[in-house]
Amino acid sequence: MSRRARDMLLYVARRLVTGLVLALLVTLITFLLLAPSFDAIVGNRLGAGATAESIRAMKTQMGLDRPVLAQYSDWLAHVARGDLGASFFTGERVGHTVGQHLGVTMSIVLVTLLLSVAFSVALGVTAAWRGGVVDRVVQGVSLTGHLVPNLLIAIALVYLLSIRLDLLPATGFTPLTDDPAAWARSIAIPVTALLIASMAGLTAQIRGTMIDELRKDYVRTLRTRGIPTRSIVLRHALRNASGPALTVLSFEFIAMLGGALIIEKVFAIPGFGSYAFDASLQGDVPVIMGITLFAVLLVVVVNLAVDLVNGWLNPKARVL
């Protein structure tokens, strides 16, 4: 193994360990925030007839009357063995159900990001490169995408494509593994609604940084050497402009994950956001903890991936 590869592995390992420490802290804080609600959670489980005695008895039965740190340590020990516990209410294994719901949301978010990258690069680069009317049109589209809320776009698309034209389902989700065509139809409107806002931000970012890059001295030098414009734009300028765009993309990803709830509710999609919302309302502690852990790890992995891709695209941005 070369020294460079070893250093890279060490860097990745360091980042992952930092991520685990972060996950530890966030889950501990979450558990400490939940602890004062244990009485209410048990009362909710017992229903309208709950009395102080029955709440006490149920807390003992569920082990919620033990010291908070002891409970958290137990949870952590189980997590270390790959066991995230079971839902207080349905008894389903948390690892399985969180994965199931996360898969639904990820299938929407990843397709949105993929399309967002493809369209934003095409539009942003063209606007920066061509300028003039093309640039003004792209800026106008980008601004409109910024201004119009996702929800409004979703409502308009549902009305047009589902209710008026009967082309796509208005609600629901079909897993990719069940029927790829039905899956594509079920995510078409949610993806489009998310895509417009995502593209608006990313296109503006790429356009701006591309204009900056194209004005730099090295571009002029390359031109004087007779390098084709196409190569200058795509091979040199775009590579240098990719860093800030990737950062915006990682923010978009995290924002989409956090904001998935609204789209999931509007389209009745059983995703991560609505699962987290329902678990919070019920006070389903094992599920809330599992969701928190998954969310933190996901953000850590995405940020790491963005740094690595950034380094791969642009040597100047390499951390090693």
Q: Which is nearer to another protein, 134 or 262 (CB)?
A: 262
Smallest separation, CB 163 to another protein (Å): 5
181 contributes a contact to another protein by CB under 8 A: yes
Q: Which residue has the tokens 């070893």?
A: 6
Question: Which of 26, 155, 255, 302 is in the footprint of another protein by CB under 8 A?
Answer: 155
Neighbours of 32 (CB within 10 A): 12
Taking the least distance from each CB to another protein, the nearer of 269 and 295 is 269
Q: Give the position of tokens 């695209």.
A: 313
247 is an interface residue for another protein by CB under 8 A: no
Name which position in 63, 149, 172, 258 contacts another protein (CB under 8 A): 172
Which residue, 19 or 31, is less far from another protein as judged by CB? Answer: 31
Q: Write out the binding residues for another protein, residues 287-316 only, by CB under 8 A.
A: 312-313, 315
In the complex with another protein, the residue whose CB is nearer, 23 or 158, is 158
Dihedral sign (CA 137, 124, 161, 273): negative
**How near is the Cβ of 284 to another protein at its closest, in Å?**
9
CA dist list (Å): 240 to 119, 193, 249, 263: 18, 30, 15, 34
Tell me which of 24, 26, 35, 168 binds another protein, using CB under 8 A: 168
What are the distances in angstroms from CA 116 to CA 108, 128, 181, 246?
12, 17, 21, 12
**Which residue type occupies 268?**
A
* 229 forms part of the interface with another protein (CB under 8 A): no
- Of 248-287, binders to another protein (CB under 8 A) are 265-268, 270, 274-275, 278, 281-283
Q: Does 59 bind another protein (CB under 8 A)?
A: no
| Contact positions with another protein (CB under 8 A) in 34-53 | 37, 39-41, 43-51
Binding to another protein by residue 239, rule CB under 8 A?
yes
Which listed range, 74-82, 135-143, 178-186, 216-224, lies at the site for another protein (CB under 8 A)? 178-186
Is residue 166 involved in binding another protein (CB under 8 A)? Answer: yes
Closest to another protein by CB, 201 or 271: 271
Which residue pairs from 190-193 have beta carbons closer than 8 angstroms and sit at least 24 positions apart in sequence? 190/108, 190/154, 190/263, 190/267, 190/269, 191/108, 191/111, 191/112, 191/115, 192/153, 192/157, 193/150, 193/151, 193/153, 193/154, 193/157, 193/263
The interaxial angle of helices 180-214 and 150-157, nearest 10 deg, is 140
Separation CA 99–CA 294 (nearest Å): 9
In whole angstroms, give the CA distance from residue 197 to residue 204: 11
Residue 169 binds another protein (CB under 8 A): yes
